[in-house]
Amino acid sequence: MSSPHLSMTVLMTPDMANFSGKVHGGQILRLLDQVAYACAARYAGSYVVTLSVDSVIFREPVQVGELLTFLASVNHTGNTSMEVGVKVVAENIRTQAVRHVNSCFFTMVALDEAGKPQKVRPLPIETPEALRRFEAAKVRRQLRQELQRRFDETRQSSSTGGT
């Protein structure tokens, strides 16, 4: 059985820098998507696609030359989707100072060979930390569903000429 956890470490190189000399947020987003994909695909044992990304918080800038470690975890599974939480930690190689620089949550959907949504096995909850993550993910899922419902109502109202 595949683990619901994955870590990946990448050295931040000069080609990843933006105009201010810090690592470009888009580069970090690309890596976040890759690690979320790898974590979800390994857990599901199938292809996955990104449905949404929530709460991307860039807490501190990342410097060229730092090591970024991406710590991913499947926090919740639904019928065909999974929430993958990713925490990013930067390490200054010379001083070994470590700091939390980013966190976010991805919703990934498992796909079969034909590209259709595929059932995902339930997530085993074996530790208090896994239970905490699972419960928090349920709340985030409910909030996403409520936001989608409100968006749909607003869109429907504006397309019918309502206020």
Q: What is the DSSP letter of 117?
A: B
Neighbours of 91 (CB within 10 A): 15
Q: What is the DSSP letter of 80?
A: S
Question: Could you tell me if 75 and 15 are in contact, meaning their C-beta atoms sit under 8 angstroms apart?
Answer: no
Which residues, 6 or more positions from 59, have their beta carbon under 8 angstroms from its beta carbon?
A: 100, 101, 102, 103
Q: Which helix (H) or strand (E) holds 65?
A: none
22-78 confidence digits (pLDDT tens) = 999 999 999 999 999 999 999 999 999 999 998 788 999 999 999 999 999 999 999
**CATH number of the domain located at residue range(s) 5-121 in this protein:** 3.10.129.10
Helical ranges in 45-97 per DSSP H: none
Domain boundaries, given as residue ranges, for the chain:
5-121
Question: Is the pLDDT confidence value at 162 over 80?
Answer: no
d(CA 49, CA 152): 23
Question: Is the pLDDT confidence value at 101 over 60?
Answer: yes
d(CA 79, CA 110): 9
- pTM, two decimals, is 0.89
d(CA 157, CA 155): 5
Token pair 């931040």 is at which residue? 12
